[in-house]
Chain A
Amino acid sequence: MIGEFFQKLGPEIAQRTWEHIVLVTLSMFIAVCIAVPLGVWLAKSRWRRPAAVVLGLAGVIQTIPSLALLALIVVVFALVSLPTIGTLPAVVALVLYALLPILRNTYTGIRQVDPAFIEVATGMGMTARHILWSVEIPLSLPVVMAGIRIATVWTIGVATLCGLIGAGGLGDLILKGLRSIQLDYLLAGTLPAAVLALALDFGLGRIEWLLTAPGLRKV
Chain B
Amino acid sequence: MPHERSITELRAGLENGEFSAVELTRHYLSRLEGSSQDLNAFITVTGDLALEQAKKSDIDRSKGQAGPLSGIPIAHKDIFCTRGIRTSAGSLILDKFIAPYNSTVVEKLEQAGAVMLGKTNLDEFAMGSSNENSHYGHVLNPWDKTRVPGGSSGGSAAAVAAGLCAASTGTDTGGSIRQPSSFCGVTGIKPTYGRISRWGIIAYASSLDQAGPITQTAEDAALMLEVMAGHDAKDSTSIATGVPHYTDSLSDSIKGLRIGLCQEYFDEGLDATTEKLIMEAVAVLESQGAVISEISLPTTRYAIPAYYVIAPAECSANLSRYDGVRFGYRCENPRDLDDLYKRTRSEAFGNEVKQRILVGAFALSTGYYDAYYRKAQQVRRLIKNDFQEAFNSVDVLLSPTTPTPAFQIGEKSDDQIAMYLQDIYTISSNLAGLPAISIPAGMHGHLPTGLQLIGNYLDEARLLNVAHQYQLQSSWHKLSPPAGDAE
A and B form one complex:
no
Residues of A within 8 A of B (CB): none
Interface residues in chain B, defined as those with a beta carbon under 8 Å from any beta carbon in chain A? none
